[in-house]
Amino acid sequence: MEKVNLAQKLTLFNDYWHPRIVGELNDSQVKLVKVQGEFVWHHHEHEDELFMVLNGRLQMQFRDKDVWLEAGEFIIVPRGVEHRPVAPEEVHLLLLEPKSTLNTGNVMDEKTAVAEWI
């Protein structure tokens, strides 16, 4: 059992849309990711996802509405719901999701990335 300093872990990378694993619990992983710009529309057939904004402001787009998240806020996107994260400026996120979760879900494109431990 060791503590994890999120601010320190965020200094270890600068690229966008490439999640880094910082912990595991049960069958889920805690990930950090830096994002900026628009992601791809996608859904996850079998996984729910939690997005928590640590720094910045994130727009989570759904086909029927948009939800803005500020630092200290989170949203849970249920499995099967199509969504697209958008960050007009750099945003730091904490993600909690099952180990099987691929960042682009049902879509494979240039932003598809396999999460790495840091």
Average pLDDT over residues 88-100: 96
Q: How far apart are CA 74 and CA 79, in angstroms?
A: 16
What digits encode the pLDDT tens for the residues 22-70?
999 999 999 999 999 999 999 999 999 999 999 999 999 999 999 999 9
- Give the CA distances from residue 98 to residues 41, 67, 92, 102, in Å, rounded to whole numbers and listed in that order: 19, 23, 20, 9
| Full-model pTM | 0.93
Instruction: Say what percent of the chain tops pLDDT 90.
Output: 85
CB-CB contact of 58 with 87 (8 Å)? yes
Provide the residue ranges of all domains of the chain, joining segments of one domain with +: 6-117
- At the top level of CATH, the class of 6-117 is mainly beta
Q: How far apart are CA 77 and CA 82, in angstroms?
A: 9
Q: What is the pLDDT of residue 109?
A: 83
> Buried b vs exposed e over 30-67: b needs ≥16 C-beta within 10 Å?
bbbbbbeeebbebbbeebbbebbbbebebebbeeeeee
